[in-house]
Amino acid sequence: MMAKQRTHVEEMDRGIYDLKNAVKYRSKTEKGLSESIIRQISEEKGEPEWMLELRLKALEIFNKKDNPSWGPDLSEVDIEKVTTYIRPDAELTDDWKNVPEDIRSTFDALGIPEAEKEFMLSGVGAQYDSEVVYHNIQRYLLDQGVVYTDFETGLREYPEVVKKYFQKCITPNLHKYAALHYAVWSGGSFVYVPEGVKVDVPLQSYFRLNAPGAGQFEHTLIIIEDNAYCHFIEGCSAPKYNVLNLHAGAVELFVGKNATLRYSTIENWSRNMYNLNTKRAIVDERGKIEWVSGSFGSKVSMLYPTSVLKGEYANSEYTGISFAGAGQYIDTGAQAIHTASHTTSTVNSKSISKSGGIAVYRGLVSVAPQAKHVKSAVSCESLMLDAESRSDTIPVIDIHNRDVDLGHEAKIGRISDEVIFYLMSRGISENEAKAMVVRGFAEPIAKELPMEYAVEMNNLISLELEGSIG
């Protein structure tokens, strides 16, 4: 009874994002985590023995590791109450008409096929619960050697490439939920862009978790060879339930010499979700990683996209926004690890909190002894919409040589009464005046997103603000 009280969800109607389908599945595991469950997942997928061995080693690490001793309370995350694998009643297809009607209608409402048609995306993937049900890529990219498929197909058709890169960017020893991910991963995306190829319009993957009491553990592996370019967009959502749901995906990115990867994310989980995702990029000489991140929804989020700048003149840019409402603890930020000289990093983080929500920026800039002439700039801005909300900035700066140019700036404040009064004197209602200020605060993030995602982000902000500012 106590557990039900702790997971009770109080939140506004989120419209299309709260669409629920009957839970239909071809197979699923029992709740909890054990060696037999992992063997069941691996057998279901017909995996090579080396992948099963990695899963079992990750299980050992998960069982030995404790929850983080800092940040949000994760004591409610009881893996014995989570179903780690649900295979939907659907086959993978590249024809939208072949997706089962109930799943197709959900993605239709979320605008996935419309985005593919209207914005001429280079490729689209759609995952439902534990497996990808739709995947498509434009023919002209295939002709240039670009690979964009679901991760299981990548493992089956490119086993040596996957084996070379898998767990090389993120290891199961990184933290408890990275180990959990590697034990039970399922679904996700595999992208390979050959040397010199420019993927001129974005690739998109959308992850939808429908089942209550379930986890989603997709694995994304992207390899951008020298002098290549790609923009990858990730969308996530789930309907609200009064039970624990868990998301612990992993994103491993490899950016070659003089290559650029832009990785954009809009996460819109419901407030029964614990979002414990891990994202990391390794960037070679003169390569560039661009992170654009919007974190909405979830009861708890812990997410810190990390850039390992291993080649000289490598560059990382992070632009992110988070929104914490009633009952939410959103602990996000970015990490830049400089291991080579003349590398640069920029972090521009914004957070909004209301109705007692907690928004935390937690970041790291680390400079190795051999990494000379490094430049890094970190800017954190927090906007609190009432006296009950909380915002913290927790930067860690770890520098091991003197040839570094680093700046950190943090601003925390509330909406100005004078600004609201001025707007109201021009005939604008108080709620709309406050909403205008919030949208203006978020505008630098929105302009970094493609138009349709900027519109979605503004819609999510409006949903969060509706009827709740006072």
If asked whether residues 296 and 424 sit together in one domain, one would say: no
Q: Which of 247, 281, 303 is the last residue of a domain?
A: 303
Question: Based on the structure, what is the number of domains in the chain?
Answer: 2
pLDDT of residue 9: 47
Domain membership of residue 146 (yes or no) is yes
Give yes or no for a contact between 359 and 394, defined as CB atoms under 8 angstroms apart.
no
Domain membership of residue 372 (yes or no) is no
Q: Which of 262, 282, 303 is the last residue of a domain?
A: 303
pLDDT of residue 315: 98
Domain membership of residue 404 (yes or no) is no
Residue 55 and residue 42: Cα distance in Å, rounded? 9
Domain membership of residue 194 (yes or no) is yes
pLDDT of residue 18: 61
Domain range spanning residue 242? 2-303
pLDDT of residue 218: 96
If asked whether residues 288 and 425 sit together in one domain, one would say: no
pLDDT of residue 114: 65
The pTM of this model reads 0.91
* Amino acid identity for residue 438 in this structure: V
The secondary structure element, H or E, covering residue 417 is helix 417-425
Domain membership of residue 317 (yes or no) is no
pLDDT digits (tens, 9 = 90+) for 445-470: 778 877 667 777 777 777 777 644 33
The angle, 0 to 180 degrees and rounded to 10, between the axes of the packed helices 451-465 and 430-446 is 150
Give yes or no for a contact between 141 and 231, defined as CB atoms under 8 angstroms apart.
no
The secondary structure element, H or E, covering residue 396 is strand 390-399
pLDDT of residue 467: 41
Give start and end residues of each alpha helix (H) in 128-231: 139-143, 151-157, 159-165, 176-184
Q: Which of 273, 303, 333 is the last residue of a domain?
A: 303
How many CA atoms are closer than 13 Å to the CA of 37, on its beta-carbon side? Answer: 20
- 427: number of Cβ within 10 Å: 7
pLDDT digits (tens, 9 = 90+) for 211-263: 888 999 999 999 999 999 999 999 888 777 778 899 999 999 999 999 999 99
pLDDT of residue 466: 66
Token pair in block for residue 372: 């000379």
pLDDT of residue 121: 63
Instruction: Reduce the DSSP state of residue 184 to 3 states and report it.
Output: helix
Domain membership of residue 92 (yes or no) is yes
Q: How many residues does the chain have?
A: 470
Domain membership of residue 119 (yes or no) is yes
If asked whether residues 211 and 75 sit together in one domain, one would say: yes
Domain membership of residue 129 (yes or no) is yes
Residue 45 and residue 188: Cα distance in Å, rounded? 14
If asked whether residues 13 and 140 sit together in one domain, one would say: yes
Mean pLDDT by 10 residues, the chain (470 residues): 40 57 81 97 96 98 96 95 92 87 80 61 83 89 95 96 97 98 97 96 88 92 98 85 88 98 90 94 98 90 97 97 92 97 97 93 97 97 90 95 94 82 87 83 80 72 59
Q: What is the DSSP string of 419-463?
A: HHHHHHHTT--HHHHHHHHHHHHHHHHHTTS-HHHHHHHHHHHHH
